[in-house]
Structure 1
Amino acid sequence: MTIKSEILLESGTNELEIIEFQLQNNTFGINVIKVKEIIQPVPVTFIPHAHPYMEGIIQLRGEVLPVIDLAKVLNIGGSDDSSKEKFIVSEFNQLKVIFHVHNVSQIHRISWDQIEKPSDMYTGGGQQIIGVIKRENDMILMLDFESIITEMNPGTGISVDKVKKLGKRERSNKHIVAAEDSPLLRKLLHDTLLEAGYENVEFFENGQDALEYLAGKVQGSKSIENDVHLVITDIEMPKMDGHHLTKKIKEDPKLSQLPVIIFSSLITDSLMHKGELVGADAQVSKPEINELILTIDKHIK
């Protein structure tokens, strides 16, 4: 099963398509944009001393790709029917990885505002579940695949050490608004922006909250330029995604001059046009934090 680009939705509609998959009796979802194809499982080459989540590696059309056992990641038992198992070939954060799941069932088109933020009460404060989609008879849990990869290999994530190479800088008078739903990535972004001299950063868990904050800053005839200097946004977020947030900002006469940088694991050559269509001033792929800092420097006044 190949996931073709034609399935992708128009930019800025606040919709997404998710692939529903199962691990035992539990149902999860992954954004279609992250998925290259779905294949039948093939024999995996074991790698000694690899991370416990790592099942091994396979060769797929000349590429050597890691296979991650999602059941182990989530502490779920093995499959009851091996004939239904699938490999989900994914690409994000400039990486290609394969997720081993117990079954793939269907594709859903939904709105980001249908995805609820999970409560710490039932997630235990963990970072792996970032959204809950309620349906009539069950629920689909959205996983934070970026955090799973970063946990396995911290070197693939955002690093403060990379920013230190830029040297000491004074940016404390610049006010930035950042929309990022992942608690782990919010913390990493905070630390790296602080190291880069940007001390005044307001973080929001989704685009809707960020937009409401910005709208409150321009009530009446007030200009945004004196209060906020730049917006950084992820793409995948509950309630309102980054493309829709960008579109809303650029359509608002009082906010339209505000520079917006999309910082996402979904920035690829084939998807750049989606950010361009909604008016993003720049797009930077995670985890290129140095490029993000330099891009902020370029656009901030």
Structure 2
Amino acid sequence: MAGVLDSVNQRTRLVGENRLEILLFRLSGQQLFALNVFKIREVLQLPRLTQMPQRHPHVVGVVHLRGQTIPVIDLAAAIGMRAQQVNENSTVIVTEYNNSVQAFVVGGVERIINLNWDTVQPPPRGAGRAHYLTAITRLEDQRLVEIIDVEKVLAEIVPFNTRISEELLDEQLLDNARGREVLLVDDSQTGINQLKETLSQLDLTLHVATDGLRALRQLQAWADAEGKLSERLLMVITDAEMPEMDGYRLTAEIRKDPRLSDLYVVLHTSLSGNFNKALVEKVGCDGFLSKFQPDQLVEVVRERLSNLQARG
């Protein structure tokens, strides 16, 4: 099953093209779910499982794989479905989010599909498991595919830290940051909450867009009213994966518009750090930051403020 994944070099061709590849799989029923292939290391039969005392109810144990000890999570149970039956024949998807590696037990893997982000829509708001989804799409045969918000799943198992180290909150930083405006772009409410909780400690004024297309329209509306925005906005912090328009395409569109082209854009994503660092220059981002690193986020703000001061 490991051969189900293409190489990173092949997949990088999608970047900036507003396209993605997703791996389709099932949990404890017939509904199709998906994860972005960029976040998947491998798919394999469950290695020998070791039980751990005092583990989270959704963590079924750990496996030792390629020199790492990896927690194994029952993804069905974690999103409120009937728990998965786990045995030596179970399939696991090994993923990397925010520089951490974990495996998810699934009912079975179907295939990889390639699609445009503009065919991917936000999930319907309402009851059920919708709040564990970041997006939905449909296959050519009209079957619904639900794309899981893994950041939310992981945050409920191991809560993310949003507090800034006290020694970083010096008076000069706080004075320079106070009231400056930042646009946050992320389709995950977990991601937005983390950014808000961290950046509000700097007394920044925060605007939110839930996908790249909404962000672009907001920036264009501001530019229509005010002209160039670089003096108004300290920076744009954008996720990579989003329905309608991803962060790579958003950055490319910003660079095309002379009223927006000099905006400072930071890619803030749970995708593999090494992978994204190699692509920041390709799409014109000014920086890259892994999610849920509050101190590093503050240092990005500090560096941006310092650069502005140096220019006079």
Counterparts of 2:194 and 2:149, CA distance in 1 = 15
> Deviation digits for residues 34-93 of structure 1, max 9, x if unmatched?
001111122311111100010100111221111011121123335689797411011111
Cα gap change, 1:112/1:163 in structure 2, threshold over 3 Å: closer, same or farther?
farther
Matches within 5 A, 1:24-39: 24-39=29-44
Equivalent position of 1:68 in the other structure: 73
- Counterpart amino acid of residue 31 in structure 2: N
Further displaced range: 34-43 or 14-23: 34-43
Cα distance between partner residues in 2 of 1:78 and 1:122:
19
Structure 1 residues 216-295: aligned runs within 5 Å: 216-219=221-224, 222-295=227-300
Query: How far has the Cα of 1:12 moved from its partner?
Result: 0.9
Cα distance in 1 for residues equivalent to 2:74 and 2:226: 54
User: Which segments of structure 1 move beyond 4 Å, counting only runs of 4 or more?
Assistant: 78-84
Deviations 1:131-160 (A, max 9, x none): 111233311101011111111011xx241x
- TM-score, length basis structure 1: 0.91
**1:176 is the counterpart of 2:176:** no
DSSP 3-state at the match of 1:270: helix
What is the RMSD computed on CA atoms of the aligned residues?
2.1
1:6 aligns with 2:12: no
Equivalent residue letter for 2:211 = N
2:125–2:131 CA contact under 8 A, matched in 1: no
| Larger relative helix fraction | 2
Q: Deviations over 1:266-296 (max 9, x none)?
A: 1411331222200100101111121112112
The one-character-per-residue Cα deviations of 1:90-117 (angstroms, maximum 9, x if unpaired) are 1111101001101000001011111111
Residue number in structure 2 paired with 1:89: 94
> Partner of 2:22 in structure 1?
18
Q: Which amino acid aligns with 2:138?
A: K
Conserved in 2, the CA contact under 8 Å of 1:163 and 1:192?
no
Report the 3-state secondary structure (helix = DSSP H, G, I; strand = E; otherwise coil) of the residue aligned with 1:99.
Answer: strand
Contact 1:123-1:129 at 8 Å conserved across structures: no
C-alpha contact 1:58 1:64 (8 A) present in aligned 2:
yes
Identity %: 27
- Give the counterpart letter for 2:181 in structure 1: H
Amino acid at match of 1:194: S
Aligned counterparts of 2:17 and 2:88: Cα–Cα separation in 1: 37
Q: Determine helix, strand or coil for the equivalent of 2:193.
A: helix
SS at 1:151 equivalent: helix
Structure 2 gaps of 5+ residues are: none
The one-letter code of the counterpart of 2:206 is V
2:168 to 149, 157, 166: 166
Count of aligned positions:
296
Q: Which runs of 5+ in 1 are unaligned?
A: none
Secondary structure (helix, strand or coil) at the match of 1:127 reads helix
Moved more, 171-180 or 33-42: 171-180
C-alpha deviations, 1:162-213, integer Å up to 9, x for none?
Answer: 3544225132331111101111221221121111221x11001001001001
Aligned residue in 2 for 1:297? 302
The separation in 2 between residues aligned to 1:130 and 1:123, in whole angstroms, is 14
| Aligned mates of 1:51, 1:80 — CA distance in 2 | 17
- TM-score (ref. length: structure 2): 0.88
Structure 1: distance between partners of 2:221 and 2:10: 36
